[in-house]
Structure 1
Amino acid sequence: MTAPPIAADAAATTIPFFPPDLFDGDREALLDAVRAIGTGTAQKFILGEHTAALERALRSRLTAATAGAAGDVVACSSGTSALSLLLAAMDIGPGDEVVVPAFGCAPLAATVLDAGARPVFADIDPLRLTIDPAAAEALIGPRTRALLPAHMFSVMADMPAFRDLADRYGLRLIEDSALAQGGTLRGRPAGCWGDAGVYSFVQVKTFGMPGEGGVAITRDAELGEAVRMLRNHGQDGAHRFVHHRVGHNSRFDEVMALFQLHRLPGLDGRLARRAEISAYYSRRFAPLADRGLVAPPVGGDGRFHYVYTVLTDRRDELRDHLAARGIASHVYYPRPLPAQPAFAPHAAAGPGAGWPNAASAARRNLSLPLYPHLTDAQAEHIADAVHAFADTYICTDTNRER
């Protein structure tokens, strides 16, 4: 790997999980964007020319990647809001059901409930950690209107299987690709498998920014037009104060749009560096599989590199072991969604029941630092620390069992 230099004593360096300096190299560009928008004669702070330019630029990238029209890219206030807008644009509401993963981020269930519909929780694949197509199919019923698979950590959901399910049952397919920008499966970008998808631009995402924002993506022009209208209180843009639908306030910030346009040319390089670090981890951790530590495979189709997550029954001990060596790690989603107090009343079974793989993932997952300016020495220190844990703890337990 090639990376910026680091002090020789890597072990003495604290390695954050969420680095506070993600945008240090772009600080002047950010200040320039603030000045440009703040002093511009138009005094247009939301949904202006820069937002439109960012939408066009992202649409062009997707068009090039899919060798065809990408349809529409609609900038909005967050990835969560993009999901809400899509549900509204599809007229999903009271009496409807949406099949969602039992393991993942709260908006998977919250946006469905906010729409007045009911989330139906399906268990996940134990290795992908994404919703299991067979489990989802078993839950499709007369009220099911949509499937909502989500990509997780660094692995895309089985979108060909979900595309087939949606087509066979006549369902809408919404792809929660909020954290998967840059991933591809069978040559098709994340976000372009469903009737619509979303990306999130929150700070730590692959195309993150120092603010909230996201986009809805669809190749359905009519659906894109509806989302565009709904993000601005149901107005169509041409006729202010004419509200065609009950809409939302989900408008994109012009400063952030200009800043993202500045950072877009460097996105592929940052994605490549993430992939390089991820592949290094996977090569180092592959021998640990028979010692109880499961890591993602090296590269392969359907991968993206948002966070790098391992599974182990001794998750909390590994986290403490890393912390003692100056390495911060992170536990995502320590409860399955059906076990969350907000969503348990809407789950078909009792909290945690009926979703064993989701419960296992919640108990065993730990994510390691993964960001573009992580240095080679830091990545090696992290990998060495994980190996030391496996040699000291997991291997000792294995020998004792024998």
Structure 2
Amino acid sequence: MLDLIRRIGLASEQRFILGEHTLRFEAVLRESLDPLGPTGPGGAPGAPGAVDVIACGSGTAALTLTLTAMGVGPGDEVVVPAFGCAPLAASVVGVGATPVFADIDPYTMVADPHEVERRITHRTAVVMPAHVFSVMADMPRFVEIARRRGVRLLEDSAVAQGGVLAGTPAGLWGEAGVFSFVQVKTLGMPGEGGAVVTRDADLGRRVRMLRNHGQDGTRRFVHHVIGHNSRFDEIQAAFQVHRMAGLAERLQRRAAIAEYYTQRFAPLVERGVVPPPPGRDGRCFYVYTLLAAARDKLRAHLLARGVHTHVYYPRPLPRQAAFARFTRPGDHWPNAERASARILSLPAYPHLSDAQVEHIADAVCAFQGFDAADGRAPEETSP
């Protein structure tokens, strides 16, 4: 990082935003999104990878820019999960539309396709499923629903970079997808950043204008639309290109840790601790999140043993004061509310040693009265 700051700061062009390093980072991201199997999104043979990747100021900005480029505004509704990060709803409100909250699957904690479809009305412009924790949403179902109901599909893949479902990378299932590069994400960086990925060249062109005050890049200070200031930093872009080379290996380590945890915790289901679904298809391993009936007691037990945990979403979005006005009397989201009371995320970052991973698993098992389990820790690889 220090070397990059020196080189970019002393370069003759003195360009610190939207320069050659940002273009290179966008190209590297685009190359990483080539379909990995014989079928593309929705199982369509020969479907292309990303036509355009637009780096921007944050994952939240990526959602806002895309909704704006889609023409979403006042009078429109966007169906979002009731459980997840605030930008899911805030981005919708930010463009003047109304978020409509759909309940989640009680086990995977991603949006339930049936509940999403139930919320579609004649005012629905977009459905916006989100991948959560280590599980990708059921995107084949959402592709089918969007086509059949005539609504647009925006994939909130902010936490899922590197995830692949049925041969299609996260971000390529809808008309557009988004990534976030805030430090805790799988390609996190020391700052804020995000990207829009799309197979629609025209949508990409509009997003690219919107991120830079409505300019199209051909002439400065000529504004075609009212846009935003959501430009990407050159130093961060160069740093991300550098880090991209190790992403696959870091994801592999995360997956190995998650598989070890799941194997260790499988016997705990009947005792009130439920691990996420096993396997790697449709998994992103951003964080490893349990459902625990005695969540707060388990959290205290782990902290006493030096294991820090996190409760990402202690309250469903429609139960947050910021979004309560968008709900209807008597509406409820039982699965989202149950998840908020039970979720607990364990450390799963790739720099954990085998000994640390075993210690974390042992501590969880000990809380449920299990002795240290059989089996070995995941084979350690260099982060």
| TM-score normalised over the length of structure 1 | 0.88
Shift of 1:348: 2.2
Structure-to-structure mapping, 1:42-191, within 5 angstroms: 42-63=13-34, 65=36, 68-191=48-171
Q: Show the counterpart of 1:366.
A: 344
Structure having the larger proportion of residues in helix:
1
**CA deviation string 1:177-209 (max 9, x = no partner):** 000001111110011101000010000100000
Residues 78 and 98 of structure 2 are in contact (CA less than 8 Å); yes or no, is this contact kept in structure 1? yes
Q: Show the counterpart of 2:228.
A: 248
Asked if residue 41 in structure 1 is aligned to residue 19 in structure 2, the reply is no
Q: How far, CA to CA, are the matches of 2:21 and 2:172 in structure 1?
A: 24
**CA deviation string 1:86-113 (max 9, x = no partner):** 0000000000000000000000000000
Residues 35 and 168 of structure 2 are in contact (CA less than 8 Å); yes or no, is this contact kept in structure 1? no
Q: How far, CA to CA, are the matches of 2:35 and 2:55 in structure 1?
A: 19
- Greater RCO (Cα-Cα under 8 Å, separation 6 or more): 1
Q: Which runs of 5+ in 1 are unaligned?
A: 1-29, 393-402
Residues 104 and 333 of structure 1 are in contact (CA less than 8 Å); yes or no, is this contact kept in structure 2? yes
Q: How far, CA to CA, are the matches of 2:35 and 2:8 in structure 1?
A: 30
Shift of 1:239: 1.4
Q: CA RMSD in A?
A: 1.1
Asked if residue 337 in structure 1 is aligned to residue 311 in structure 2, the reply is no
| Aligned match for 1:380, one of 335, 355, 358 | 358
Q: How far, CA to CA, are the matches of 1:69 and 1:310 in structure 2?
A: 33
Shift of 1:60: 1.0
Shift of 1:64: 5.4
What SS does the aligned partner of 1:333 have? Answer: coil
Q: How far, CA to CA, are the matches of 1:152 and 1:319 in structure 2?
A: 20
Q: How far, CA to CA, are the matches of 1:332 and 1:258 in structure 2?
A: 30
Q: How far, CA to CA, are the matches of 2:292 and 2:108 in structure 1?
A: 15
Residues 120 and 348 of structure 1 are in contact (CA less than 8 Å); yes or no, is this contact kept in structure 2? no
| Aligned match for 1:302, one of 282, 288, 299 | 282
Q: How far, CA to CA, are the matches of 2:253 and 2:321 in structure 1?
A: 39
Shift of 1:367: 0.2
Q: Show the counterpart of 2:294.
A: 314
Q: How far, CA to CA, are the matches of 1:312 and 1:273 in structure 2?
A: 25
Q: How far, CA to CA, are the matches of 2:146 and 2:102 in structure 1?
A: 15
Residues 278 and 370 of structure 1 are in contact (CA less than 8 Å); yes or no, is this contact kept in structure 2? yes
Residues 151 and 177 of structure 1 are in contact (CA less than 8 Å); yes or no, is this contact kept in structure 2? yes
Q: How far, CA to CA, are the matches of 1:77 and 1:59 in structure 2?
A: 18
**CA deviation string 1:317-336 (max 9, x = no partner):** 00000000001000011000
State the AA in 1 paired with 2:186: T
Q: How far, CA to CA, are the matches of 1:356 and 1:305 in structure 2?
A: 25
Structure-to-structure mapping, 1:213-362, within 5 angstroms: 213-349=193-329, 353-362=331-340
Shift of 1:42: 0.6
Residues 108 and 277 of structure 2 are in contact (CA less than 8 Å); yes or no, is this contact kept in structure 1? no
Q: How far, CA to CA, are the matches of 2:327 and 2:8 in structure 1?
A: 46
Q: Which runs of 5+ in 2 are unaligned?
A: 41-45, 371-383
Q: How far, CA to CA, are the matches of 1:58 and 1:205 in structure 2?
A: 15
Q: How far, CA to CA, are the matches of 1:77 and 1:145 in structure 2?
A: 25
Shift of 1:242: 1.0
Q: How far, CA to CA, are the matches of 2:33 and 2:316 in structure 1?
A: 33
In the comparison of the two structures, how many residue pairs are matched? 361
Residues 275 and 299 of structure 1 are in contact (CA less than 8 Å); yes or no, is this contact kept in structure 2? no
**CA deviation string 1:143-190 (max 9, x = no partner):** 000000000000000101100010001111000000000111111001
